[in-house]
Amino acid sequence: MNNIVVFASGNGSDLQAIIDACKETDNTRVVLVISNNPNAYALKRARDSEINSYCIDDSVLDSTDVVLDLLAIYQVNIIILAGYLKKIDDEIVKEYENNIYNIHPALLPKFGGKGMYGLNVHKAVIESGDKVTGATIHRVCTEYDTGEIIMQETIAVLDDDTAETLRNRVLELEHIMLRKLILSL
């Protein structure tokens, strides 16, 4: 059985795509949602789907032992970072090596790294003049937005795109890709 924890800081539409995809398979489920943001809509989505969720204060999140204990209690064997704005501690990354995934709303290695989150990413894509963007699912290693790329899909950047319209279309693509990831586990 694949027992997933999803870490999410915001709206959680990616989390929702993961929850929905799990309904199509018997061997993968979301057992836990962790957020660092008490106002994250992701927490409400977890509650609505009767998934245990924790909003954990930064000072506690920084205590690797507490997080690892929690993951052990829920027998978590896969971590997915879906719009999680805090860095995952290296010790956790090492413990879950090869079983920790992140989704990024651009074609890494372009538009990755520090400060490249939310609308900043899509603004940078538009400013670059690139005509193609997309999303990337990659394994997480101790460097931000690096690690083996396991899925990358593209969409066109339209002449009249704003950062918001681009974000929305990339998000739709992300949801399709996350479904594929879940069904491939």
**Positions marked active-site:** 104
Buried b (16+ CB within 10 A) or exposed e, 105-115: bbbbebbbeee
- Residue 148 is given by DSSP the state -
Measured CA distances, 28 to 19, 142, 172 (Å): 10, 26, 22
Q: Minimal distance in Å, beta carbon 103 to ligand GRF?
A: 4
Q: Minimal distance in Å, beta carbon 104 to ligand GRF?
A: 5
Those residues with Cβ within 8 angstroms of residue 50's Cβ, 6 or more apart along the chain or in another chain: none
Measured CA distances, 27 to 1, 52, 132 (Å): 5, 18, 35
Q: Minimal distance in Å, beta carbon 46 to ligand GRF?
A: 12
The edge-to-edge listing of strands for the beta sheet with 78-81 is 53-55, 28-35, 2-7, 78-81, 100-104, 132-139, 149-156
Q: Minimal distance in Å, beta carbon 127 to ligand GRF?
A: 18
Binding site for ligand GRF (CB under 6 A): 8, 10-15, 82-83, 103-105, 171, 174
